[in-house]
Structure 1
Amino acid sequence: MDKEAMLIGGRLHRKIQRSMGSDYHAEISLKTEIPRDGFRIQVEGRADGIIIHEETGETEVTVDEIKGVLRDLEHITEPVKVHLAQAKCYAYIYAGQKGLENIGVQLTYCHLDTEEIKRFEEKFTIDELKEWFDNLIRQYEKWARFQIEWEKTRNASIKKVEFPFSYRPGQRDVAAAVYRTILRRKKLFIQAPTGVGKTISTVFPAVKAVGERLGDKIFYLTAKTITRTVAEQAFRTMKDQGLSMKVITLTAKEKICFCEETLCNPESCPYAKGHFDRVNDAVYDMLISGNEMNRSAIERQAEKFRVCPFELSLDISTWVDAVICDYNYVFDPNAHLKRFFSEGSSGNYIFLIDEAHNLVERGREMYSAVLYKEDLLELKRQVKNLDARLARRLGDVNKLFLELKRECEDYQILNSVSHIALKLMNLLTEMERFLEEPSGDEIRESVLNLYFQVRSFVSIHDILDENYVIYSELEDDGRFKLKLFCVNPAANLQNYLEFGSGTVFFSATLLPIHYYKSLLSVEKDDYAIYAESPFPRENMLLLQARDVSTRYTMRSESMYRRYADYIGRMAECKKGNYMAFFPSYRFMEEVYDQFVHKAEGIDVLLQAQNMDEREREEFLEEFDRERENSLVGFCVMGGVFSEGIDLTADRLIGAVIVGTGLPQVCNDREIVKGYFDSRGMRGFDYAYLYPGINKVLQSAGRVIRTETDRGVVLLLDDRFSRRQYRDSFPREWENCQICSAATLSDYMESFWK
């Protein structure tokens, strides 16, 4: 939508300029330099038009600034301040260069759909403009001076910083590879097992690269809160060595908002009222007063200056050296930071992408779009007595959905939905008109929610290519949906990675590497390294049982009992804390029921669905308690306890992996399978095997977290013996041994002795 609006806006600009006659001089470049102590400030731009009108010996000059808008022009009653300021800058520069005493400023607003025009005009003397412009430069000067002086301080400190630890095996190679990648402006994929110290091994060379002016800013991107904390600690460790670097962690608006409901308007939020009057002082104060910019520091500053904490953090991010944030701040077309990732941005950033295996599914979500027929119909019902025009547009789209529904039994792959996208664009116009007018909060909320879904659908439709599959689906609950499914997100991710001077993807489970390369990058010459684990292999006992299976055809009460028996024997053999990971909640509960009936002298925890943050903390706190019995936590593979948690030493001494982690068969997965099969690639592996193995590796990775940890990993599924699964194992798993329920105790007793 942004690019489409820009194209329409550019066309309208040219149309207006051509219609203005011979007095109108279009696209005039303007530039001025203002000397300051130690540096110069250069202000430059291009005026849309300079109108030079001569009559009876008098020359009148007006600077014209054209803005394309989607708002109804009746709602624009005065020029937008930032637009007026832009035009006044051009007027001051032009008047000064031409020796004019007076000059006019004109703001031309043009509606992108109707092409209706509304103009605002003001006259200024050169003295008025000079006073205004000098004040503007004085305000900006302190920011420019801060930036120049801070950069000198920062780079001097970077030169002195050394790697903060003794290098572990493989760690120096990782750090060197990261620096080389940034130097050569390339991409690097790192498979680095737990213990390599991935975070410090990527952050340290990235910091060094900033000091060498190879990148302007570091973006450390993560999928989970816990990994953000690890990144913060890495920067803190280097600051303890004398590094001067400003680092901010961005927290989601919903989490950091001070209000019970996130209503971002001055009427509902006291922090939004007058925010822009105070925010610059809040930002500057924080920049010069300290380098710690985590969530609590941002909240304190926002309270002190009575500003929105989320918007404050975004404004501060412009001036810092490193930003720690979720993937969506860079890659999501609806949520990315436009100040960094839009046309005209400098694009010299270093991207460090942690837990990069998560970016495949996140990428698919970010670049896909869905609309439900029932949502369109429900909104039509709500507005039919309030707004006939909007109800009619909703009805038009609903009819097209109804036609598709009649043709669809389960799901249907479609070649094109351009006719629907066209109707949706008409619907968007009506929704925007409705939202401009006063209405009840409840109905407004309903329109707004669907508006964003429709806008996303239209935006994604604009970028459809061979990486997409369009399909309709009649879901089990009777709801009918239309989906633009991004099967391979690599090309869309590339649009944002091009803002990078170097990109590093890293994870403890980035296997097989060719799978992640094909879904996260479009380049054919990306680097890849496999960092050896620094932990002694003899510290982990890896066993596999062949007499159990999680396949649907094999599921029965006797099979659940067999799984429960394995878990019980493991917990009885050595007292300690264990986790058992299952392919689904249902399978977990079946085995749990069998386990609690016969397991005596073993404490048990069961992961519940939709646990909140406090419940998750309480679950993990049980692994810290002193107890007389063994503890077994029943968890779900791919859930909150299978990734990103650190239970070191004897807090966890064993993990049972029940099944191969294969995702459940569903239409999305089958579409992925068909997509890669049609391209001569192994569709089953891309849709099921590799995502499943990743879950297995993540779950197993909870056991050995430090050089001194010892533990047992038990793989329970006969399919682990197949070659396609074994080929996906990491090198550290080469010594996997086969056991049975009868021999399990012998293996474990021998290992623990």
Structure 2
Amino acid sequence: MTPNPEIKLSVRNLVEFILRSGDIDAQFMSNARALEGTRAHQKIQNANKDKGYSPEVTLKYSVDYQGFTFIIEGRADGVITTKALTIIDEIKSTSRPLEHLAEHYNETHWAQAKCYAHIYCAQNKIDRIGVQLTYYQLETDEIKQFINYFDQDQLATFFFDLMDQYLVWAHLTSDWVSRRDQSIKALDFPFETYRTGQRQLAVSVYKTIAEHKKSFIQAPTGIGKTISTLFPAIKAVAEGHTAKLFYLTAKTIVREVAEEAFAKMKEKNLEFKAVTLTAKDKICFKEERICDPDHCEFAKGHFDRVNPALLDALQQENYFTRPVIETYARKHQICPFEFSLDLTIWCDCVICDYNYVFDPRVYLKRFFSENGGDYTFLIDEAHNLVDRARSMFSAELYKKPMLELKKLFKDEEPRIAKSLGKLNSFMITMRKLTGAEPYYHQANEPKDIYPLLNKFILESEEWLASHEGSESHEKLLEFYFNVLTFMRTAEFYDERYITYVENSKDDTKLKLFCLDPSHLLSEAIKRGKAAIFFSATLSPLDYFSEILGGGDDCYRMIFPSPFDVNNRALLIADNISTKYRNREKTYLSVAEYIKSVLTQRQGNYMVYFPSYQYMNTVYELFTERFPDVIAVRQSPEMSEEDREDFLNLFRPDSNDGILGFCVLGGIFSEGVDLKHDELIGAIIIGVGLPQICFERNIIRDYFNQKNHCGYEYSYLYPGMNKVLQAAGRVIRTETDQGVILLIDERFSNRDYQQLFPREWFPHKRVGNLNELEISLKDFWADHLSQD
């Protein structure tokens, strides 16, 4: 006999999903209230512990119903056992005056408690039980209680009425999993053949997932990283090795590549649901994002309409890209961002930014707030995660807003002004520690500021809750959230952190800076069962596996390029030093080298510089000396439309050719896929070292102490990664031909050559313009004759 499909649900999720209604109302909600609510629970539980009160009672209930095996789990706040009767206690903290709370103030509160009561009765064979709601007023410490008594039959009727309403979703899930798994098992690799190394890559990904491990994979451009990770991961879903995939990226363009991979597999009859998350600010339908029913028609009544919208969309669609999400959100008049978050529950793959998994401020709590789950993380362009993680796990406060807000609230709310004044005084003390220097740092955390920040949080919360829409509200709210972030970050502070103070002309900054994100990333990865970190540039692999929290038992793999190395000319002009102190002497030489490359074959090229200043200086010189060349340059504040316009200039049919002046490590040095004659060369000026700065130096000092590799970890490896990414823009397909010119004497240094990928051998040194021209003439003559 075939076993029933199994559906796991928490009591809370069941009740809130079936009974939710009303508006989205993003009015200010105190973040400290959650902590106060926990304390309220503990206070009530402790006060009753000698009265037969058992706190936090875990309940688990398995029931066969309507062809399903439902496993329902939850935790009752309290179970009171007396000789006469057992009572289930549900505790709710509130800031509302208790006289405003009637017995049926919130039906979901009763529903949750009644479900716990039903499970307790069923497990303990009890015929009658009490259900109590205990409301705790946070400001006054007052308690108000309501109690009702139910027979087991009444509770069973209530519980199974909820289950009847959930059955449509249970059938949806069960039918879908059957269809999905059947299609996966029939799915062949969506291309006629595997490229070199591609099958091996896919096998290694499957093995990592099946063994619930981590792997770090360097897979060059052309091997097909996206399909080679998604295809085996999808296969692993049908085999029961993982329940849900998270495809994590740093850039929108990479998310689009993942969507294209799903589209390709859909052509091969794959049935798989995937949703792409877009930032709230981008997907919001309103010009001004105010999430409350008075300002947004999509927030008003959202929860009345969202379940029908989900059912409609899930029955009609499998791939929820931004346009699809927006279409259904408009159709049902609901918030597109909240709708997309709800879709993640029902989809097999979530395509999203790193922060939805790793950032403690915004990660998806619906998946990761407890102990995580049976998830696989596919982390694309993983080289970007190092600095992103440092940013996610760091926090900073500035003195200037403290003083400005203190003046603003001096008359309006003296208590808030007083707490801000004490914070401002603390920052003055920290500023004095710098003396005549711009920086001061210490290994210990600044514990003396924590009570002051907590006091500010408490003083400001009541005002923020009652003064929405006022002129001062937005300014105070922004600082309030910065303070919360600072306090949350302080919870992670350990030997991998440093505290520093930075003085500038008009402000003072206090920062909790995460030097080494490896531990926190490792902990975040435990929210799932398996993780694959992959990129074309994870070199050196040992560095990335360590800094990204891989541990000793992770897999490390390097795959060769599938492209013929003879299709590219890799040339090193090592007679020029682009070190900062030498740059002024190089402007003319660099301009002449660029022109020499263009002269040998007309076409589209990009030239990458270590800074905007260097780029702009050479650009002005170059365009003045060579006005016949069509040159365009990157600017610091380009919109998405500007970026698209810039890239659209690089057409294969561009008769005169385009020369793009870009910044190394910028938006056009990675994630750009210009194929064939859209780009035939990249000229890279310098070795990409990050600008020398205080943060880089303290990272260097930390790793010097830890493993004697401070310079490498702080400067050399991140710099060379930018170079590898920029060079990777040239050869994108098996038939592409192009030139990579590296200009800097350090590229001939052994420390740098050790970081060259194997496909960069052989390469050729060109000591002057004449040697460069001869090498390029030979290369193009050979390849153009083959064409």
Measured against the shorter chain, the TM-score band is over 0.9
Q: Structure 1, residues 352-390: CA drift from partner, whole Å, max 9, x if none?
A: 000000000000000000000111111111111111111
Shift of 1:7: 8.1
Query: Contact conserved, 1:66 with 1:110, CA < 8 A, in 2?
Result: no
Alignment partner of 2:310 out of 274, 283, 289:
283
CA distance in 1, matches of 2:75, 2:680: 66
Residue 510 in 1 paired to residue 538 in 2? yes
Query: Contact conserved, 2:217 with 2:533, CA < 8 A, in 1?
Result: yes
DSSP 3-state at the match of 1:506:
strand
Query: Contact conserved, 1:604 with 1:631, CA < 8 A, in 2?
Result: yes
Q: Structure 1, residues 447-496: CA drift from partner, whole Å, max 9, x if none?
A: 11111110010011111011111111113x43100000011111111222
Shift of 1:239: 1.8
Query: Contact conserved, 1:601 with 1:629, CA < 8 A, in 2?
Result: no
Q: Structure 1, residues 217-273: CA drift from partner, whole Å, max 9, x if none?
A: 010000001111111111221121121111111111011000111211111111111
Residue 64 in 1 paired to residue 126 in 2? no
Change (3 A) 1:742 1:150: same
Alignment partner of 1:86 out of 105, 112, 124:
112
Alignment partner of 2:401 out of 362, 372, 375:
375
TM-score (norm 2): 0.90
- Partner in structure 1 of residue 426 of structure 2: 400
- Partner in structure 1 of residue 671 of structure 2: 644
- Partner in structure 2 of residue 305 of structure 1: 332
Counterparts of 1:418-457 in structure 2, within 5 Å, are 418-457=447-486
Alignment partner of 1:362 out of 388, 404, 407:
388
DSSP 3-state at the match of 1:374:
helix
Counterparts of 1:48-447 in structure 2, within 5 Å, are 48-51=77-80, 62-67=87-92, 71=95, 77=101, 81-94=107-120, 103-109=130-136, 111=138, 116-123=141-148, 125-126=150-151, 129-165=155-191, 166-345=193-372, 347-408=373-434, 409-414=437-442, 415-447=444-476
Change (3 A) 1:397 1:522: farther
CA distance in 2, matches of 1:736, 1:382: 64
Aligned AA (1:386):
E
Query: Contact conserved, 1:64 with 1:108, CA < 8 A, in 2?
Result: no
Query: Contact conserved, 1:544 with 1:717, CA < 8 A, in 2?
Result: yes
Alignment partner of 1:702 out of 715, 726, 729:
729
Aligned AA (2:545):
K
DSSP 3-state at the match of 1:442:
coil
Alignment partner of 1:38 out of 62, 67, 71:
67
Q: Structure 1, residues 697-716: CA drift from partner, whole Å, max 9, x if none?
A: 11111100000000000001
Alignment partner of 1:533 out of 561, 570, 575:
561
- Partner in structure 1 of residue 18 of structure 2: none
Aligned AA (1:661):
G
DSSP 3-state at the match of 1:712:
strand
Query: Contact conserved, 1:603 with 1:632, CA < 8 A, in 2?
Result: yes
Residue 595 in 1 paired to residue 622 in 2? yes
Q: Structure 1, residues 623-651: CA drift from partner, whole Å, max 9, x if none?
A: 11634423211111111111111110011
- Partner in structure 1 of residue 593 of structure 2: 566
Query: Contact conserved, 1:357 with 1:516, CA < 8 A, in 2?
Result: yes
Shift of 1:51: 4.1
CA distance in 1, matches of 2:445, 2:51: 48
CA distance in 2, matches of 1:538, 1:29: 65
Change (3 A) 1:624 1:717: same
DSSP 3-state at the match of 1:317:
helix
Change (3 A) 1:75 1:356: farther
Alignment partner of 1:25 out of 35, 53, 67:
53
Change (3 A) 1:396 1:570: same
CA distance in 1, matches of 2:256, 2:158: 45
CA distance in 1, matches of 2:131, 2:765: 85
Shift of 1:41: 2.3
Query: Contact conserved, 1:95 with 1:103, CA < 8 A, in 2?
Result: no
Change (3 A) 1:170 1:128: same
CA distance in 2, matches of 1:706, 1:32: 55
Change (3 A) 1:194 1:333: same
DSSP 3-state at the match of 1:242:
coil
CA distance in 1, matches of 2:483, 2:31: 17
CA distance in 1, matches of 2:99, 2:375: 39
Change (3 A) 1:718 1:22: closer
CA distance in 2, matches of 1:445, 1:5: 20
CA distance in 1, matches of 2:707, 2:640: 44
CA distance in 2, matches of 1:239, 1:693: 38
Count of paired positions: 743
Shift of 1:73: 6.1
Shift of 1:547: 2.1
Alignment partner of 2:580 out of 543, 552, 559:
552
Change (3 A) 1:194 1:22: closer
Change (3 A) 1:46 1:636: closer
Q: Structure 1, residues 692-732: CA drift from partner, whole Å, max 9, x if none?
A: 11111111111000000000000011111111111111111
CA distance in 1, matches of 2:532, 2:654: 43
CA distance in 1, matches of 2:81, 2:445: 50
CA distance in 2, matches of 1:412, 1:108: 49
CA distance in 2, matches of 1:328, 1:76: 40
Aligned AA (2:231):
F
Report percent identity of matched pairs: 45
CA distance in 1, matches of 2:100, 2:756: 62
CA distance in 2, matches of 1:356, 1:722: 27
Change (3 A) 1:689 1:94: closer
Alignment partner of 1:459 out of 488, 491, 498:
488
DSSP 3-state at the match of 2:586:
helix
DSSP 3-state at the match of 1:121:
strand
Aligned AA (2:112):
Q
- Partner in structure 1 of residue 700 of structure 2: 673
Query: Contact conserved, 2:383 with 2:544, CA < 8 A, in 1?
Result: yes
Change (3 A) 1:355 1:88: same
Aligned AA (2:331):
K
Which has the higher mean CA deviation after the structures are superposed, 232-241 or 38-47?
38-47
Alignment partner of 2:523 out of 483, 487, 495:
495
Change (3 A) 1:74 1:393: farther
Change (3 A) 1:18 1:657: closer
Query: Contact conserved, 1:491 with 1:522, CA < 8 A, in 2?
Result: no
DSSP 3-state at the match of 1:708:
coil
CA distance in 2, matches of 1:208, 1:26: 45
Query: Contact conserved, 1:73 with 1:118, CA < 8 A, in 2?
Result: no
Change (3 A) 1:549 1:21: closer
Shift of 1:133: 2.8
Which has the higher mean CA deviation after the structures are superposed, 335-344 or 86-95?
86-95
DSSP 3-state at the match of 1:623:
coil
Any gaps of 5 or more consecutive residues in structure 2?
1-29, 782-787
- Partner in structure 2 of residue 480 of structure 1: 508
Aligned AA (1:377):
L
DSSP 3-state at the match of 1:679:
helix
Shift of 1:156: 1.4
Change (3 A) 1:555 1:529: same
